Amino acid sequence: MSTVVDGRALAAKLLNELQDQIGNLTAQGVVPTLRIVQVGDDPASTIYIRNKKRKGASLGIDVQVVKLPETVTQTALMHQIETLNVNPEVDAILVQMPLPVQIDAAAVVATIDPAKDADGFTPANFGRLWSGDEGPVPATPAGVMAILQQYHVPLRGQHAVVIGRSRIVGRPMAAMLLQADATVTVAHSHTRNLAELTRTADIIVVAVGIPHFLTADMVKPGAAIIDVGINRTAEGKVTGDVDFAAVEPLAGVITPVPRGVGPMTVAELMIQTVALTKARVAHD
């Protein structure tokens, strides 16, 4: 029998534990503050931001959106981020992706003060992660690591295959698993004989954005299967990168979509915002 992860319940547990830290900050007159920079009106981004604002409000975290037009210039957007960097009342900054075609997203992310980097995407923090140093980390891989820990999935000496090499999930996921002493293979669209590789894996993290990409013939019985994919079918149904119905009977632990990794991503963003606030208070 496989164990199906309840991402909502786990996120609620972690955020309940976070309340004590927020309460301690509030007692000092400090309210954790997150600013989300949104360019344009991408519908999916608007929904994600709404969820983040609601969760922040429920916890006592001040989450506000800095809204800029779709036509904003690179210079104007970077100036806005620099303004937030120097604002002592802002603890954490997040730039909501995607950005319009006229914007160099990498340059924008690099403008964020690493000490306020809620997403852990700045070059400095990305480098710290791969160096094994402490610092802000991307929320989705952090959520995956929390799931593996809370569901007692062994990592040391285990073979983990990460399918996907994005800067948002795949690459930081590999770095975190390496730090936990797993043996990590990163696979992607050009990987040959992928099924042969995944059948040797104790842990598979899938983040390719292709519905039902991971099938039962690619999975070793008892493996932990983490589905980071969020895809919408022609009928409007949300589904993951794993063929859940076929893979679930084989898995030791498996995350569903929705209600798996998604709630953990939002929770980890809130946890990181509070961590950045505490670091700022300690520095002051």
Number of residues that make up the chain: 284
CA-wise closest residue to 177 among 190, 164, 194: 164
> How confident is the prediction for the chain on average, in pLDDT?
96
Whether 52 is catalytic:
yes
Q: What angle do CA 58, 63, 64 make, to 5 degrees?
A: 135
Q: Are 88 and 57 in contact (CB under 8 A)?
A: no
CA-wise closest residue to 191 among 218, 226, 229, 224: 218
Q: Which of 38, 80, 96, 158 is catalytic?
A: 96
Q: Are 183 and 158 in contact (CB under 8 A)?
A: yes
Residue 80 tokens, joined: 């806005």
Q: Which of 52, 158, 227, 243 is catalytic?
A: 52
Q: Which of 119, 202, 241, 243 is catalytic?
A: 119
Q: Are 163 and 204 in contact (CB under 8 A)?
A: yes
> What's the N-to-C CA distance of the chain in angstroms?
51
Q: What 3-state class would DSSP assign to 121?
A: coil
Phi, psi of 32 (to 5 degrees): -55, 135
Whether 96 is catalytic:
yes
Q: What is the pLDDT of residue 1?
A: 78
Residues of the chain with pLDDT below 50 are none
C-alpha to C-alpha distance for 100 and 104, rounded to whole angstroms: 9
Q: Which amino acid is at 21?
A: Q
Rg (C-alpha) for the chain, rounded Å, is 19
C-alpha to C-alpha distance for 78 and 31, rounded to whole angstroms: 25
Per-residue exposure over 189-228, b if at least 16 CB sit within 10 Å of its own CB, e if not? eeeeebeebbeebbbbbbbbeebbbbeeebbeeebbbbbb
Q: What is the pLDDT of residue 134?
A: 92
C-alpha to C-alpha distance for 61 and 274, rounded to whole angstroms: 8
pTM for this predicted structure: 0.95
